[in-house]
Amino acid sequence: MKAYSTESESDQEGIEEMDNLLQDLASYQFEPEETSDENESSESEDDSDEDEEEDIQEERRGNTNWCKCSSCKRELRGIDSLCCTEVAAINEEKFEGKKCITEAEEFGLLCCNKAVLKNVLVGLHETCGDPLEKDSEIKNRSLRFAAYKQFIWWIFQQLGKGNRRVIPSCVVWHIRKRFPEAGGQYVRFKEGERD
């Protein structure tokens, strides 16, 4: 019976600690809120940044004037018009002295090697429950998906759920050339959905 009362006392202490913690947190509920002037100025700055970004994307559509590696292709959408040389996370070490990231040996090993990509698909199946095709039935679409994942992991490491990055045009087209879709219809970049 004594053990029971000791557990009750420890439970009671835990409840009291939780109450104290909640009271401490409640003291923050009356923090001053941002004034509407501050909200309006930050919103207008965000809007102007978005407008500028849209203008840049519009200028890039349908041409390759923005490409510095000479491997990018004309894109129908401005958002897809990104050169590997513009990605801050791709440092000189990854370029290995090459003009385009797709010429780097590590890119070939990680993003174009069929055996590595099959292993990525197995890993995605094990960790995320992604469907796994039989070895003889693996489609180019799955290999492209694995190659894009490998590129993102190699360059950015982990991004987190709903956080996506545009893959440079040169990388996308190199992977598409290596693992083409029979009908030539490819999935385009989509913004992530944040929770």
Amino acid of residue 145: F
Mean pLDDT of 43-52: 64
pLDDT recorded at residue 14: 60
Question: Which is nearest to 187 in space by CA: 157, 150, 142?
Answer: 142
In order of 24, 25, 164, the CA distances from 119 in angstroms are: 50, 47, 22
Q: Give the number of residues written for the chain.
A: 195
Average pLDDT, the chain: 76
What would the two tokens of residue 16 be? 């009291």
Interacting residues of 87 by C-beta distance below 8 A, sequence separation 6+: 155, 168
pTM, two decimals, is 0.65
Reported as a pLDDT band with limits 50, 70 and 90, residue 182 is confident
Range from 1-5, 123-127, 137-141, 190-194 carrying the lowest mean pLDDT: 1-5
CA–CA separation, 100 vs 87, rounded Å?
12
